[in-house]
Structure 1
Amino acid sequence: MSSRNPYDADLAKNPANYVPLSPLGFLERAASVHPDRVGVIHGDRRITWAESYRRCRRLASALARHGVGPGDTVAVMAPNIPAAFEATFGVPMVGAVLCALNIRLDAEAIAFMLEHGEAKVLLCDREFSPVIAKALAGLARRPLVIDIDDGEAQGGGPIGTMEYEDFLALGDPDYVWRWPEDEWEAIALNYTSGTTGNPKGVVYHHRGAYLNAIGNAVTCGIAGHPVYLWTLPMFHCNGWCFPWTITALAGTHVCLRRVEGRAMFAAIAEHGVTHMCGAPIVMGLLINTPEADRRPLPHPVNFLTAAAPPPAAVIERLERQGFRITHVYGLTEVYGPVTVCAWHEEWDALPIEERARLKARQGVRYLTEEAVMVADPLSLEPVPKDGATLGEVFFRGNVVMKGYLKNPAATAEAFAGGWFHTGDLGVWHPDGYLELRDRSKDIIISGGENISTIEVEGVLYQHPAVAEAAVVARPDEKWGETPCAFIGLKDGANATAEEIMAFARTRLAHYKCPRTVVFTPLPKTSTGKVQKYVLREMARRLGA
């Protein structure tokens, strides 16, 4: 008798039955099914799906003509504008890898990313040309710089070879773009802060981008014709994969260059926004928008929030204003959100305060993530689901990064034991829902952005009056968390909190700078290690 499995015999993969997964096909489908539907809105501009597809192919063609191909990196420094969206498709259409840069970073950090990622081309919005010019000055090899002259930009000027629209004009709108040969090919490079000052380059593949885009739609119940307001930065985990999600549904992307209360309410009212995402800071902006700047909501608006866990009181206040809150959790290393506080219909009968408390939990895994657990970080034994026993959060599945670029040691450490180690600490509730309690890596999440405490401490130690410094998160109703610095001064030295904060602002991006400075001897263990848990409790007592 033959030992061959009959389900494998003469049933091989071929082009008819196997195509590598990639989100790039979402754009072609949107353009072919809904060519005249408006796909992108920016101010007075309306870009149909057919036009958007042509523009992305022009970008891919122009990049190819300038020598960009598979494995090359194309960086983008831009806010939520059409050019940033088009790069999400146009760059990987030529086989290149998109590196969306955080527009809030300083020149030193940008220079590191451009050099480490070996960017061959840089698309730069003119408003950010000063910081980019400074970053480029320190590079041994300068990428081709293309200026984006967005009509809503404030300040800045050209520093590149040509303007973005002129660059697109060089491309072919009928360019035959490249489908990945393997879904494991890299599609994006996203830098994230670790426990050291140098960021790590997180590499995404086409398969993960495809699956998490679909996961967003399925898990969050997005259907029909969504109108999505871009309050989440496109540079943050590639906008949590929402450029691909909304395009898959042939929805409408409403660009928002500056996230402000008045602008958000105006966009919601004028365009019939149905969905939006953001960190707790965006929730705070909506809650605190003056009455004169508000517009009535045309219907309930679905708001997806993540980053620092939102206080239940904030969720409650926003839901009273007509927003439907869904709480998700994830990291850059897992393409953005991969758990959701999935709602149970019976919870609708609960008081709004109790509903808000339940919604503040991080929840259960996405449909497209294979496993999540809370476990002992050394033994990997799951903790009891008692809502009290602390453990580290672990993920496993197809929406976990390829690894860290050029950093095999960090990659191996992150994947030890066959699980991705988040470094976040939480508990498991009896119903299987996850709730974060702390961050073992001491990362501060402020307004959705990661801040390395070690990096901030390194700057504070440069102050001539500082003998010792430790930075922890202080709860903040607007930003979620902000850096709180505890400072021990040198004998005989004097300094004010204002002087320390001003010193930090000359050396760090402003969002990384301490917003609170406390002068005190630092609590230490018998071996001299700073007891940050004590400082975190002190910061919590200071209040939001």
Structure 2
Amino acid sequence: MEGLLQCSANYVPLTPISFLERAAFVYGNKVSIIHGNTRYTWRQTHERCLKLASALMRMEISRGDIVVAMAPNVPALYELLFAVPMAGATLSTLNVSLDEPTLTIILQQLQPKIIFVDSEFAHLVSRVINNNYNTHFQENHHNHKPLLVAIHDVSLDRWTQSDLEVEVGEYEQTLATGESRFEAMSPANECDRISVNFTSGTTGAPKAVEHSYRAVFLNSQRLILRYEMKKSPVLLWTVDMPQCNGWCFAWAMAELGGVNVCVRNVSREIIFESIQLHKVTHLCVDQKPLPSVVDVIIASAFPTTPVRERVQELGFNVVHGYGMTEALGTALIRPWRSWQHHHHDDDEDDHEDHNLKYGEGLHNITLEAADVKDPTTMLSVPSNGETIGEVMLRGNTLLAGCLGNLEAMQKAFSGGWFRTGDVGVRHADGCIEMKDRARDTIVLGKDDPKVAEATVVAQNDVIAGQVPCAFVKLKEGRCSNTEEIVEFCAERLQKAAMVPKTVWFEDLPMNSTGKVQKSVLREKANAIGKHCP
């Protein structure tokens, strides 16, 4: 339009690195990180990140290169979330629970120049790189194996690298080679890739999800608004930093000049001790009463009512979220109270407050929209709480790409919406209720007092196309049979098509992050089906 001008004076690519630069100036002497007896200020954290970025440049890391980090929630991993983008490179943080075969697949896909690895897991990474069958790492496109840089956590005993078969550097020594007067690189375009994160792989092989500078910047702002994070919050790192870049909390904390309490191994005792000692205000998952209310964000299976009530009594304010790596963490969020049926119509204020919070949880502020649609017609399903459709999202914080797989991206975004692969229903008030994977059907098996764990997958059927097949793990000492489970489900499920047609009793296979591997069960169900009369 006439009179409008976009230039470097009024347009700067969005980047979360600016948060750290400002934090060093505004909150310079305030504590940024606590890990055991180790403490850094924001000025020190900024300086360390600059030196590490400078060291990366001297190690011939250039714009677009991938740097891998595999470590628990220690200060070095927090620093890498800033330092790698400062060098113009892309960071991929990996879960420390990965097994050797999965790690091999991931590293083959990433082809990193440098791997920063906690000393506890250095031998695992070394084995993967040097496996005789792993030809990809004999010589990658940089004409050398990836350099290993070991992060030695001072809280651990001393370790030896004498039996490692690859060249190994040391984190603090590497950082010391850098220059603190280094000028951090900015993205040429805010839609450039800042990170590659991997899904947990419950429905197949882990998927490499690429996120942009713009997406993580906006998602950081969303966290601050949604969780009412005021100036100088104290975050206890119970969510893994490799999980969607710690849901972007690392960058949000820099913007607010807060305190990051890093915990290597999370336990109930450490959580309560940290809350008492450091006055924790936020965390993402013998008991003592809390000195103040602590916000807890849960993004896994929703806890039962007795558990929720007990948690609230202890002083926790619980918020439940549905999300995924592709959405940078939580996409649909609501306070736990909104999951309970309210019977307080005589209390108008309470009812209005309930409705406000219920609506607030439809989708987060950086998502343009969330809907439940028929995946074929792309029409919204009726808001009757019964008609099942696929949950779809649209917004600026969704993934920017799938590493090396444009076809998967085009499929996921076909129709102008991101297809989550999850199914749900929409209620009359607009609320989305999640059900299960699009190819699977929910079963209410956990309501059965005999059932410890249960899941249902789609089994191919010559006549019906696909039918539900249940896998059930019974509680110790309990007995049941197929007829009993089927009858139990038939009494509680609204449609006959949702009732399992076959039931198998066994332990459920879990992946490294503790999720049921439905892809394994789906293959087993279909193999079983071929031999059924």
| TM superposition score normalised by structure 2 | 0.78
Q: Is the 8 A contact 2:112 2:146 kept in 1?
A: yes
Distance 2:224 2:416 in 1: 28
Query: Using the alignment, how far apart are the partners of 2:106 and 2:189 within structure 1?
Result: 26
Structure-2 change in CA distance of 1:34 and 1:208 (3 Å):
same
Establish whether residue 385 from structure 1 lines up as the match of residue 383 from structure 2.
yes
Match of 1:368 in 2: 366
Whole-angstrom distance in 1 between the partners of 2:388 and 2:256: 39
Distance 1:299 1:214 in 2: 24
CA distance in 2, matches of 1:231, 1:350: 35
Q: CA deviation at 1:311?
A: 3.2
Name the structure 1 match of 2:347.
Answer: none
Counterparts of 2:317 and 2:212, CA distance in 1 = 32
Of 129, 139, 160, 1:136 maps to: 129
In structure 1, the partner of 2:150 is 147
Q: How far apart in 2 are the matches of 1:89 and 1:253?
A: 14
Which residue does 1:244 correspond to in 2?
251
Give, in whole Å, the separation in 1 of the partners of 2:342 and 2:422: 32
- Aligned counterpart, 1:286: none
Structure 1 residues 195 and 52: alpha-carbon distance in aligned structure 2, compared to 1, 3 A threshold: closer
2:54 maps to which residue? 61
Task: Work out whether 1:268 is the aligned partner of 2:271.
Answer: no
Instruction: Please name the residue that 1:409 is paired with.
Output: 407
Q: Secondary structure at the match of 1:175?
A: coil
Structure 1 counterpart of 2:73: 80
What residue in structure 1 maps to residue 174 of structure 2? Answer: 167
One of 254, 265, 271 as aligned partner of 1:258: 265
What is the CA–CA distance in structure 2 between the aligned matches of 1:110 and 1:306, rounded to whole Å?
Answer: 24
Judging changes above 3 Å, is the alpha-carbon distance between structure 1 residues 528 and 348 closer, same or farther for their aligned structure 2 residues?
closer
Classify 1:387/1:313 alpha carbon distance in 2 versus 1 (closer, same or farther; 3 Å). farther
For 2:209, what is the secondary structure of its paired residue?
strand
The answer as to whether partners of 1:194 and 1:441 remain within 8 angstroms in 2 is no
Most deviating of 433-442 and 374-383: 433-442
1:16 to 3, 6, 9: 9
Give 1:115 deviation, angstroms.
1.8
C-alpha change, 1:36 and 1:438, in structure 2 (3 Å) is same
DSSP 3-state at the match of 1:40: strand
Q: Is the 8 A contact 2:289 2:315 kept in 1?
A: no
Paired residue for 1:199?
206
- The match for 2:304 is 311
User: Following the alignment from structure 2 to structure 1, what is the Cα–Cα distance between the partners of residues 223 and 389?
Assistant: 26
Letter in 1 for 2:245: N
| Equivalent residue number for residue 105 of structure 2 | 112
Counterpart code for 2:152:
D
Paired residues, number? 457
Deviation at 1:42, TM superposition (A): 0.5
1:212 and 2:219 aligned: yes
- Structure 1: tracts of 5 or more residues without a match: 1-7, 279-290, 445-452, 458-469, 477-496, 531-544
Partner SS, residue 308 of structure 2 = helix
CA distance in 2, matches of 1:234, 1:70: 23
Q: CA deviation at 1:12?
A: 2.0
Pick aligned residue for 2:424 from 423, 426, 429: 426
TM-superposed CA distance for 1:356, in Å, is: 11
Distance in 2 between residues matched to 1:231 and 1:215, nearest whole Å = 19
Say whether the 8 Å CA contact 2:335–2:361 is kept in structure 1: yes
> How many Å separate the matches in 2 of 1:44 and 1:360?
42
- Cα deviation for residue 362 of structure 1 reads 10
Query: Are the counterparts in 2 of residues 188 and 203 from structure 1 also a CA contact under 8 Å?
Result: yes
Partner-residue secondary structure (3-state), 2:63: coil
Where does 1:225-374 land on structure 2 (aligned, <5 Å)? 225-278=232-285, 291=286, 294-341=287-334, 363-374=361-372
1:52 equivalent in structure 2: 45
Tell me, yes or no, if the aligned pair for 1:57 and 1:90 is still in contact at 8 Å: yes
RMSD: 3.7
Deviation at 1:181, TM superposition (A): 1.2
Q: Deviations over 1:153-198 (max 9, x none)?
A: 3686434522100000001112101011100110000011457642
Identity within the alignment, % = 38
SS of aligned partner of 1:59: helix
Any idea what SS the aligned residue of 2:291 has? Answer: coil
- Partners of 2:155 and 2:37 in 1: CA distance: 11
- The Cα of 1:443 is off from its aligned counterpart by 11
Secondary structure of residue in 2 paired with 1:237: coil
1:35 corresponds to which of 8, 28, 35: 28
AA of the residue aligned to 1:136: I
Secondary structure of 2:208's aligned partner: strand
* TM-score between both structures, scaled by the size of structure 1: 0.76
Q: Distance in 1 between matches of 2:357 and 2:314?
A: 16
> C-alpha separation between the residues in 2 aligned to 1:120 and 1:229?
31
Structure 2 residue matching 1:389: 3-state secondary structure? coil
